[in-house]
Amino acid sequence: MTPSSAASAELLSVARAVALEAGALVLEARRGAVEVAAAKSSSVDVVTQVDRDAESLIRGRLAELRPGDAFFGEESGGGSGTSGLTWVVDPIDGTVNFLYGIPHYAVSIAVVEGEADPQSWRALAGVVVNPPTGEVYSAAAGGGAHLGDRALRVREAVALDQALVATGFAYLAATRAEQGAAVARLLPLVRDIRRMGTASLDLCAVAAGHIDAYFERTLSPWDHAAGALIAAEAGAAVTGVPGARADHRFLLAAHPELARMLAPVLADATDF
Ligand code: LIP
């Protein structure tokens, strides 16, 4: 049974409290030396011990606060539950920014009804915390999107050649070559491109009106679960490949009118 708005508000409160705790751990760790603990899908897809420690804190606190819920995290994988709810967690989204000390990374925590499958889940609440800036983006389903206590709304739609568009690239060189070629085709058609390195914050930037659109391929569920809800609750259309929801194949977030203009251009540029 879908939780009530009061239950979603409670879930949001849990997500915010745990994200802030993890954010404090990450920020403190960044004051010292940070080293690569391991490489994952490629030599540049790295994880630090801080990623692992932050996810361990988040997983432990959620087990205390929400013992019947399932968990799905970037670093420690899945864990079953009995409640029908799943927490989808990226302990440090923008790990490479974190590793280099670029103050643009986030703790992203979402809770969904169902499994951690973007094609079937119903996002109930999401929080994205940027520890270096203290920004706390949040949304509950049907409750709007907020930065702190300020309500967020996407920018009004602009013409394609006025659109400031953010994107990101994969960790595999061959995929980056395709993505770079797609951006090269897109760049003369729009105002400009931004590549900021953190999907969840890119989605929050759409919600806050700091960019007109964001698209990316090869994202994982934990990259977009919270940010996509925040963007949607701020009035953005968040879409995937034609006929599907946003997932690893493709994600686009923008004002609905701009999304309608941009989707076919991106489909042509990215050959999906
Ligand atoms: C990152 C995403 C970003 C993408 C990066 C990377 P991570 O997630 O947030 O949008 O362009 O390549 O996937 O790996 O830092 O959690």
Q: Does ligand 1 have an atom closer than 6 angstroms to the CB of 118?
A: no
170: CA distance to ligand 1 center in Å? 7
Q: Which atom of ligand 1 is nearest to the CA of 74?
A: 16
Fold of 5-151: Fructose-1,6-Bisphosphatase; Chain A, domain 1 (3.30.540)
Q: Does ligand 1 have an atom closer than 6 angstroms to the CB of 97?
A: no
pLDDT for 202 equals: 98
Q: Sorting pLDDT into bands at 50, 70 and 90, what band is 271?
A: low
Q: Return d(Cα 173, Cα 158) in angstroms, integer.
A: 33
- What is the location of CATH 3.40.190.80 in the chain? 160-269
Q: Sorting pLDDT into bands at 50, 70 and 90, what band is 2?
A: low
> What mean pLDDT do residues 22-26 have?
98
Q: Which of 138, 21, 12 is nearest to 91 (CA)?
A: 21
- What is the location of CATH 3.30.540.10 in the chain? 5-151
Whose tokens are 């049974």? That residue is 1
Q: Of 2 and 181, which is predicted with more confidence?
A: 181
Instruction: Determine the 3-state secondary structure of 41 from DSSP.
Output: coil
Fold of 160-269: D-Maltodextrin-Binding Protein; domain 2 (3.40.190)
Q: Does residue 3 register a pLDDT over 80?
A: no
Nearest-CA residue for atom 16 of ligand 1: 93
> What mean pLDDT do residues 203-223 have?
98
